[in-house]
Chain A
Amino acid sequence: MGAVTLAGALNRALHDAMDADDRVVIFGEDVAELGGVFRVTDRLKERFGEDRCFDTPLAESGIVGTAIGMAMYGYRPVVELQFDGFTYPAFEQITSHLAKMPNRSRGTVQLPVVVRIPFGGGIGAVEHHSESPEALYAHTAGLKIVAPSTPSDAYALLRASISSPDPVLFFEPKRRYWTKEDVELPVTTEPLGEAVVRREGTTATLISYGPTVATCLEAADAAAEEGWDLQVIDVRCLVPLDIATLVDAVEGTGRAIVVHEASVFGGMGAEIAAELLERAFYSLEAPVLRVGGFDIPYPASQLEHYHLPDIDRILDAVERSLAF
């Protein structure tokens, strides 16, 4: 066993996927010579050559649009959009083509493309580098949306995403890139679409994904000192959403709080809360609560800690839930 960072696990997953299938190619901005601004693609060009890992012009629509064409040729492109706030130039290619072409071709065209997106805040970055746009894409039928929170999941889910016949948007929790886990890679790849219980508990269920899973676990530790026994669920895949696991959890605790960095309005928390209300109504002791960022444009870095959900905001929500 060795300590592996989340970024290192992603790098290993890319390496192993390229090793296993020579149709896997990686491209994007700064991914080859530099190894990516977060070094997730570090040394892949040296190992696999410039035909398998190469830098492109600075154009996000171009990156996703050409990935679609290369997938139509028969490759399995894994492309990087450097930051969450820079995915929008590619929005049309992602929503109008990547998501739709398999359907509009009645299944004759498959697009096994993975779009890697470092997302979320908490790194003191300038504007457009800290956003959480996952709900925009989760709302688009035809995409699978993955957001790991641990190094071993980062490895397993990225391998599963690259193997998937469906297009996947892979949201990487950038402030957790350097989180370490003692794990021996490779770990077994798991299918996409299964949530996991990170911490058992009986008082209430915290539901999260990506960078705020760790925040929820910290909140659960802090709550234990208060005598609360919080369950924590890592959703891992936003699409398809593993509602069965969430319903099971809520049937156990009767209380749920969904936590994410994204603004709460129209966010994944709203979707999960609605699903739980429909499917676990009689098990609920309190309304499903949402904890997230405010409904504001992502703030300047010196103010972002006011915006991001932290342990206190989560525990306040637990208290409100228990008060019902």
Chain B
Amino acid sequence: MAIDPTFPDPRSLLPADRPIQLLDADGTFTEDPDWPIDLDDAQLAELYRLMVMARQIDAQAITLQRQGQLGVYASLRGQEAAQIGTAFALAAQDFVFPSYREMGVALVRGVDPADLLHVFRGTWLGAHDPAKHRFALITISIATQALHAAGFAMGAKLDGSDSCAVAYMGDGATSEGDAHEAFNFASVFGAPCVFVVQNNQYAISVPLTRQTKAPTIAHKGIGYGMPGYRCDGNDVLGTYAVMRQALRHAREGNGPVLIEAVTYRMEAHTTADDPTRYREDTELEQWRARDPITRLEKFLRDRELVDDEVVETVAQAAKAEAQSVRAALYDAPHGDPMELFSHVYAEPTQQLRDQHELLQAELQGQDA
């Protein structure tokens, strides 16, 4: 694969001193000529609708877990702007490689949230067709999907296509070797790839200060010769603007971009976690004041794009959607055990055919 044999000017790669922010915690909008947005009123309202829906389905998923309908669930609460703002900037031909916390991104891509939650129910290991919405299966082993994104982007470059690959990951993932290798491969090959790191401050219980000594995660970009953009991850207009620019940079053949969206995981790591053992309520309160949905709602009200009636309509629609997700999952049948052997290889081997028969006999024995 052709490479650019020059080394970049380091001054072009460092993040700004302060996180990029267009919408502050009070919902006040400040235009930034370096980070333009192109959203019309309908799109602004759509961002709001998606964020409210993500939060509502997220809450429903936690409820379903508490009721024994899901085995476990990893909440995105607090990260709606980081996910939906960045995903909203994607083009149809782009391909997303998510971790396991990206239900907000999935919603923007049109993936049925019930399909994602079937994975947490344990119905199947994966329940949606990645090609259909250009959204890969969720990846649980940390940072490994970053390499799939880099490889996909290398393929896009070889093919002369204008699609970008996007890997989503958390702050903890940046400590993994695969994140390093993915950043490096994408940059060496100038592949159209964007790495979106949602810095939600914790990897389960371990805080950012134990993950890295880099000034910020965005500063890591310079080590790979790619720009690092750092933004307020709770500002959906900021995350959108930053992603828009990153995708343009990658699509125009300039190689990958590393985005750090500074946010906070408002819930436990997963429903199996107890965050009271490692963080204080006061910290949670500080972040609650920076809530991504509250500030967008304030902004939209100030612009008279939403009022009480619209807010209520959006809330009701989100509740209805969450209810339909609940209906799809509640007591949903588990996978067919006879399918366990069907997809290990394109054609089952003799050994798998034998084991298929063995399981069938075991099940018939139970029925008899």
| Contact A97/B181 with A69-B155, A72-B130 known, Cβ cut-off 8 Å | no
Q: Which residue of B lies closest to A243 (CB)?
A: B350
- Contact in complex: B350, A61 (CB < 8 Å): no
B46 shortest CB reach to chain A, Å: 29
Q: A54-88, CB under 8 A of B: which get 1 and which 0?
A: 10110101101111111111110000000000000
Asked whether B137 lies within 8 Å of A68 as measured between CB atoms, the reply is no
Smallest CB separation, B53 vs chain A (Å): 26
Contact A66 B1 (CB under 8 A): no
**B185–A57 contact, CB under 8 A?**
yes
Residues of A within 8 A of B126 (CB): 104-106
Bound: A309/B144 CA distance, A: 38
Would B130 and A109 count as touching, CB distance under 8 A? yes
Binds A, one of B31-39, B55-63, B241-249, B337-345: B337-345
Question: Which of B67-75, B145-153, B213-221, B270-278 is the contact stretch?
Answer: B145-153
- When the two chains form the complex, which single residue of A59, A72, A241 contacts B136, counting CB atoms closer than 8 Å? A72
A191 to B133 Cα, complex, angstroms: 34
Determine the chain B residues whose CB is within 8 A of the CB of A54 once the complex forms: 1
A65 touches B152 (CB 8 A): no
CB interface residues, B 111-149, toward A, < 8 Å: 124-127, 129-131, 136-137, 141, 144, 146-149
Cross-chain contact of A107 among B2, B154, B343 (Cβ < 8 A): B343
Q: Mark A100-118, 1 if CB is under 8 A from B, else 0.
A: 1111111111100000000
B346 in contact with A102 (CB, 8 Å): yes
- Chain A stretch 134-167: residues in CB contact (< 8 A) with chain B: 141-142, 144, 164-166
Tell me the B314-360 residues at the A interface (CB within 8 Å): 339, 342-346, 349-351
| Residues of chain B from 246 to 266 with CB closer than 8 A to chain A in the complex | none
User: Mostly helix, strand, loop or mixed at chain B's interface?
Assistant: helix
Chain B interface, number of residues (Cβ within 8 angstroms): 45
A16 CB-CB contact with B under 8 Å? no
Please tell me if B158 contacts chain A, counting CB pairs below 8 Å: yes
Does B165 have its Cβ within 8 Å of any Cβ on chain A?
yes
**Is B144 in contact with A101, judged by CB distance below 8 angstroms?**
no
Complexed CA–CA distance, A197 and B339 (Å): 35
Is B178 in contact with chain A by the CB < 8 A criterion? yes
Q: In the docked arrangement, what's the CA distance between A107 and B131, Å? A: 12
The reply on A240 being an interface residue by CB < 8 A is: yes
User: Within residues 158 to 187 of chain B, which ones have a CB less than 8 A from any CB in chain A?
Assistant: 158-159, 165, 177-178, 181-182, 184-185
Say which residue of A65, A74, A104 sits within 8 Å of B150 (CB atoms).
A65
With A57-B184, A105-B130 known as contacts, the answer to whether A69 contacts B350 (CB < 8 A) is: no
Q: Does B237 interact with chain A (Cβ within 8 Å)? A: no
Indicate if the CB atoms of A92 and B144 lie closer than 8 Å.
yes
Nearest B-chain residue to A144, judged by Cβ: B345
| B156 interface hit (Cβ, 8 Å) | yes
Q: Which of B95, B144, B188, B343 contacts A106 (CB 8 A)?
A: B343
Residue of chain B at shortest CB distance from A105: B126
A66 touching B154, Cβ below 8 Å: yes
Q: Is the CB of B181 within 8 A of A240?
A: no
Knowing A61-B177, A73-B152, the reply to whether A107 touches B130 (Cβ < 8 A) is no
Q: Is A193 an interface residue (CB 8 A)?
A: yes
Which residues on the B side are within 8 Å of A72 (C-beta)?
95, 130, 136, 148, 151-152, 155
Known contacts A57-B188, A102-B343, A144-B345; A65/B155 CB under 8 A = no
Residues of chain B contacted by A232 (CB below 8 angstroms): none
Partner of B148, one of A65, A105, A239: A65
Contact A66 B2 (CB under 8 A): no
B137 A105 Cβ-Cβ under 8 A: yes
Instruction: Count chain A CB atoms within 10 A of each CB in B97, B137, B149, B156 and give the residue with the most.
Output: B137
CB pair A75 B158 closer than 8 Å: yes
Q: What residue in chain A is nearest B167 (Cβ atoms)? A: A69
Q: How far is the CA of A180 from the CA of B146 in the complex (A)?
A: 43
Is A202 part of the binding interface, using a Cβ–Cβ cutoff of 8 Å? Answer: no
Using A59-B185, A240-B351 as known contacts, say yes or no to A103 and B152 having CB atoms under 8 A apart. no
From A62, A109, A164, A193, contact of B182 by CB (8 A): A62
User: Residue B346 contacts which of A61, A62, A68, A166 (CB distance < 8 angstroms)?
Assistant: A166
B1: chain A residues within 8 A (beta carbon): 27, 50-51, 54
Which chain B residue has the least Cβ–Cβ distance from A75? B155
Which residues of chain B are within 8 angstroms of A188 by Cβ–Cβ distance? none
A27 to B127, CA, bound (A): 32
Task: Say whether, besides A72-B136, A73-B152, A56 and B158 are in contact (CB < 8 Å).
Answer: no
Report the bound CA distance from A298 to B296 in whole Å: 62
Contact (Cβ within 8 A) A97 B144: yes
Q: Does A66 contact B151, Cβ atoms closer than 8 Å? A: yes
Give chain A residues whose Cβ lies under 8 Å from the Cβ of B181: 57, 59, 61-62, 65
Is residue A93 within 8 Å, beta carbon to beta carbon, of the partner chain?
Answer: yes
Residues of A within 8 A of B154 (CB): 66, 69-70, 73
Which residues of B have CB within 8 Å of A103? Answer: 125, 343-344
Interface contacts beyond A93-B147, A102-B346, A105-B130: sample of 15 additional A-B pairs, CB < 8 Å, sorted by A: A50-B1, A50-B2, A62-B181, A65-B144, A65-B148, A65-B151, A66-B151, A69-B155, A70-B155, A97-B141, A104-B124, A107-B346, A166-B345, A240-B345, A243-B351
Binding site for B on A (CB under 8 A): 25, 27, 50-51, 54, 56-57, 59, 61-62, 64-75, 89, 92-93, 96-97, 100-110, 141-142, 144, 164-166, 193, 239-241, 243-244
A-B contact pairs, 29 of them (CB 8 A): A51-B1, A51-B2, A54-B1, A59-B181, A61-B178, A62-B182, A65-B182, A66-B182, A67-B151, A69-B97, A69-B149, A69-B151, A72-B155, A73-B155, A75-B155, A93-B147, A96-B141, A97-B148, A102-B344, A102-B346, A103-B344, A105-B129, A105-B130, A105-B343, A166-B345, A240-B349, A240-B350, A243-B350, A244-B350
